[in-house]
Structure 1
Amino acid sequence: MKKVLIINSDSPFNKGDQAILLGNVSLIKKIWPESTITAISNNPTRDKKWFDIDFIEMPVYSLNPVKLINLTLKARNYDLIFWGGGELLKDYTTKIAPIYWCMRMLLIKLAKKPIYGLFQGIGPTHSRMSKHFISRAVNLCKLFMVRDQLSAEKLIQYGVIKEKVVVGFDPAILGTPNHNLNAAITNNLEPDFLHNSIIVSARRWFHYKKSSWLPLAIQNRINPMSQRSEYQTYIKNFQSLLKRVQECYGVNLLFIPMFNSDNEGDSDFCAELATALQKERTHILDTSTISPNDLIDIYSQAKCTIASRLHSSIISIASGTPSICLYYVDKGKLFFEQLESPEQSFPIETLLEGNYERAIMEKLEYILNSPKEKYNCQYRLTTMRNQLINIFESAVKDEKKTR
């Protein structure tokens, strides 16, 4: 029986990373059904119920040397270590991230166990120093699986050994709904409201300096986001778009905040957008107590999704509900290209342009009135799921031979 440790990403607070972790657990159990799996969380009791695996109590991001060393010591008790994403390796948010992950994986390497990168995305990275730390961290792995071809090309360009890189898809696509209303009713969502709803998952953007050494919270204290003109245009036009959606289609708007850490605060941002909308047709869901399995069931009941959080779109499509994505980095564009529906994604800068409503509303009209669009996405999704499982099984074939 395999004992597996997952070094996971922001799953305690990020619904997208919860979907990734759920997919990663599913992948591992398809290959080793009797395996014992352990991940990391600072909310282990809740997450054990949600994911049905064990957890080490520890913040996913920790600078506490005692905790980091203790994790290395515990890692020696496992047969395999999987390093899951997210999009951990990039410097467009902060240059600190690649350094942190390199140092952390160097410590994990001391456990002398095989390490596999598990379908991560490699984000925009500008600094030569950041690229060095990324390549150093990835080369510590026996193999490093990525979720798209562009991520693979970046790693090889940064200096990662080509033979170590394996291309696949985002594991969040493996989520499947039960199509029941229990989660919605438990969270005070009326079925009639939900069935006539469009889900909105929005995040702040244009509100910080890219590739800074300063964490986002400090940047915002120095230069508050409310003073940034692009950010204000983004909010104004997003509100106008959603208001028109309500007026044109008579639908409810269900806001699903995806990431509520101190630096992200999706609930607050969704509340800001909702101030311009019809109150009786607008609801902001408290996602803090909703498991990833229940969340996908909620998505499965809606008409479609408008998201500037990529994993809201992925969860939506996995649930059988079409989605429009406003992508802020290439990962959003790349996912819809993999899905062979690139026209369903728009650069987030579209919301700064004068004709933003027309382009998005035309696509929304097509999605809401085209069963074929939904069928095409689901057909391609099934193919991607099967390929992902086969890619993973092939990548870990050496480990299957050992007990």
Structure 2
Amino acid sequence: MKLVMLGYFGFGNAGDEAILAAELTALRTALGAETTFIAVSGDPAETRATHGIEAVSRTDFRALITTLRGADALIAGGGSLLQDVTSARPVAFYAGTMLIARTLGKPVFVYAQGLGPITRGLNRRLAGWALRSATYVSLRDESSIALATSLGARNATLVPDPVLGTTFATHPQDRLAIALRPWPGTWLPAVKAALTDLAKDTELVFVPFHGGQDVDLAHSLATPLGAEVVEPGDYGKTLEAVATSKATLGMRLHALITAAAATRPFVAIAYDPKVTAFAQLTAQPLAATLPEPPTPDTLITLTRKALEGPDQSYVETLETLKSATQTPTQAVASHLRQQA
């Protein structure tokens, strides 16, 4: 069995690398260790070294077609692949690859994706065609389900992000993880003020989740406070820094998901609907929804509460969600066994 893994892999984003690792683990368990994988990657050499699987460059169109032709199926996701907020190109690339796979007669499984926003008319049509042609569609929040339905996709399944099913055998250290990203607006002064207050009696560790975007911001905040910065490069160490902290204050979705996977509380600052959706799903607090900035007092109060530890309701919610992370894997395995 040979599966092609399509996602935002090979770009130094710890969250997306965690998605790939979680999917590989789940699919190997369901389909057998003899299953082989080929990832579509922005840096094939890095993907091979990090995950121990084959990889093909996303810019080598001929090699990508050859890879799809020789595969048994395409696994598309997770992550926010079909969206045109960052640029118009992601929908064309990801939806186009899904449609090419279907043209070649390969089943396409949409694996716990976050869908949208998709604002451009052509992109909406492309995304709709790709979703309707897929063998199976699973999405990670209600807003994605609603968008998929508006694009003509039917029977999409609501599932948690695969990283939520990751097991962290860790004991929390008495510290707060900070996982922020650059974003326009006036939110940063309030965060600085809150962190200055928190640093008086709390150890802070800054965890950049995207090596190409978050590092400078992390250092600019950490240096005046004498706090540690976990340098990017090893996604496992990035995740571990969050999982071993008592709580997380973050904007990066997969920092929050990693905290939840380790049953650690978090406080979210939402720059994107996907962050809002996950905070609501797990009943964890939103300190602010940008562009409306948070207040220092709100950040301080919510974060100190999170540092007290998880309540029983949160623990029970996470147990239910973690068990549901296997739903897409079971669907993939069932369909492929029927084809065999």
Change (3 A) 1:156 1:13: same
Q: Percent identity?
A: 19
> Is 1:136 aligned to residue 125 of structure 2?
no
Give structure 1 stretches of 5+ with no counterpart: 181-193, 207-229
Q: CA deviation at 1:240?
A: 1.4
Q: Distance in 2 between matches of 1:9 and 1:238?
A: 29
> Is 1:380 aligned to residue 317 of structure 2?
yes
- Corresponding residue number in structure 1 for 2:199: 246
Deviations 1:138-170 (A, max 9, x none): 22311221111220110110223x13x222111
- Corresponding residue number in structure 1 for 2:17: 18
- Residues 2-151 of structure 1 correspond to what in structure 2 (within 5 A)? 2-34=1-33, 35-52=35-52, 54-59=53-58, 62=59, 67-151=60-144
- SS of the aligned residue for 2:285 comes to helix
- Segments of 4+ in structure 1 off by > 6 A? none
Change (3 A) 1:311 1:22: same
Q: CA deviation at 1:398?
A: 2.5
Select which of 276, 298, 311 maps to 1:359.
298
- Corresponding residue number in structure 2 for 1:297: 240
- State TM-score, norm by structure 1: 0.77
Q: CA deviation at 1:42?
A: 4.6
- Corresponding residue number in structure 2 for 1:173: 164
Contact kept? 2:107, 2:134, Cα under 8 Å: yes
- Corresponding residue number in structure 1 for 2:152: 159
- Residues 331-346 of structure 1 correspond to what in structure 2 (within 5 A)? 331-339=274-282, 341-344=283-286, 346=288
Q: Distance in 2 between matches of 1:395 and 1:36?
A: 14
Q: CA deviation at 1:32?
A: 0.5
Give structure 2 stretches of 5+ with no counterpart: none
- SS of the aligned residue for 1:88 comes to coil
> Is 1:266 aligned to residue 214 of structure 2?
yes
> Is 1:200 aligned to residue 188 of structure 2?
no
Change (3 A) 1:313 1:372: closer
Contact kept? 1:5, 1:78, Cα under 8 Å: yes
Q: Distance in 2 between matches of 1:331 and 1:174?
A: 18
Deviations 1:235-274 (A, max 9, x none): 2222112112112xx122211111123xxx2101212233
- SS of the aligned residue for 2:217 comes to helix
Q: Distance in 1 between matches of 2:21 and 2:315?
A: 20
* 1:6 maps to amino acid: M
Change (3 A) 1:50 1:122: same
Q: Distance in 2 between matches of 1:175 and 1:401?
A: 28
Deviations 1:43-62 (A, max 9, x none): 4454345334x122414xx3
Q: Distance in 2 between matches of 1:345 and 1:21?
A: 29
- Residues 226-241 of structure 1 correspond to what in structure 2 (within 5 A)? 230=185, 233-241=186-194
> Is 1:348 aligned to residue 282 of structure 2?
no
Greater percentage in strand: 2
Deviations 1:48-96 (A, max 9, x none): 45334x122414xx3xxxx112211122222121111310111222223
- Corresponding residue number in structure 2 for 1:399: 336
Q: Distance in 2 between matches of 1:143 and 1:364?
A: 39
Deviations 1:81-113 (A, max 9, x none): 111131011122222322233333333334321
- SS of the aligned residue for 1:401 comes to helix
Structure of larger gyration radius: 1
Q: Distance in 2 between matches of 1:81 and 1:360?
A: 42
- State TM-score, norm by structure 2: 0.91
- Corresponding residue number in structure 2 for 1:226: none
Q: Distance in 1 between matches of 2:259 and 2:299?
A: 18
* 1:365 maps to amino acid: R
Q: Distance in 2 between matches of 1:110 and 1:121?
A: 24
Q: Distance in 2 between matches of 1:86 and 1:204?
A: 19
Q: Distance in 2 between matches of 1:389 and 1:363?
A: 32
Greater percentage in helix: 1
